[in-house]
Amino acid sequence: MTPEFVTWLVAVSAGASALGGALGMASGIFIVPVLIMVGGIGIRAAVAASIVSVIACSCGSAAPFLRGSLTNIRVAILLETATTFGALTGVLLTGVLPVPVLYLLFAAILLLSAQQMMARRREPPAASDEAPANDWATLLRLHSSYPDGARGHDVPYRVRRVPLGLALMYGAGLISALLGIGSGVLKIPAMDTALRLPLKVSSATSNFMIGVTAAASGAAYFARGDIDPAIAGPVALGSVLGARLGARLLMAVSAEKLRLFFVVVLVALAAQMLLSAFGVHLTGHGA
């Protein structure tokens, strides 16, 4: 492996991590297709390297969110039990599903992500809306608040429909292990639509969770010898650098300003993945 290629891996990973981390999506959603289409790396090696980068990305971006009191730790710990089981299930399926199926699945996830980002999110109901005293969120003390710089005070919120959120998190963990995408692309919409968390809280909580999910599947990938240190090392280094920048972007910039750019990139990558599923590689690289 040449020094130029190592430098390219670090640069690409840093950029992908900054972009993905700004919306709590980690870096795998961008890194995997770029490694395949531009770097000529097989999809299984790319997914394994991405799993390592997701762990690094989470470590690099979680601390600023915790200091900023955006992360709901109780929600994260509860949901992580479901995503971890899903991740372990996904690892067991990686040797069963053929490569074209993985390409198709990845394209579907990319398009789902683009659709979710285009949909304008509505703020959840006010915290004054009372929930049943015996619901899961109340019993587990999941309700909380987050600081809003624009309003100049903390904004309280209530957590809704916890069982539905747990079911969706299991699916997110399974997809994460299969594709190495960190599952933030699924966790954020799930927390937004099922649990009704505010956008910044769901993004920060997702960043806190994705590293744990990836670690559960990453250990299995490592035990099977799927992780190539020559690829995973530079990718992880770039992800740490980019994750810190992505965390600052999320806290300082409105997510609406980044949506259109993300959607264009995601749709383009989804189109290439669909072509790759049928053996068409525009960059000349196969899996």
Which residue would you say has higher pLDDT here, 111 or 247?
111
- Would you call 129 exposed, middle or buried from its count of C-beta atoms within 10 A (0-12, 13-18, 19+)? exposed
pLDDT, averaged across the chain: 76
Provide the 10 A C-beta neighbour count for residue 108.
14
Q: Which residue has the tokens 């949909």?
A: 119
Distance CA 43, CA 49 (A): 10
- HSE at residue 15, side-chain half, CA atoms within 13 A, is 12
Q: Structure tokens of 40? A: 């000529």
Q: What is the pLDDT of residue 150?
A: 61
Q: What is the pLDDT of residues 217-265, one digit of tens each?
A: 777 778 877 788 888 888 888 887 887 777 676 666 665 665 676 677 7
Rounded mean pLDDT of 263-273? 77
- Would you call 120 exposed, middle or buried from its count of C-beta atoms within 10 A (0-12, 13-18, 19+)? exposed
Whole-model pTM?
0.64
Q: What is the pLDDT of residues 15-28, one digit of tens each?
A: 877 776 666 566 66
Rounded mean pLDDT of 81-89? 85
Q: One-letter amino acid identity for 246?
A: G
Question: Chain-centre distance of CA 280, in angstroms?
Answer: 27
Q: Structure tokens of 176? A: 């994460």
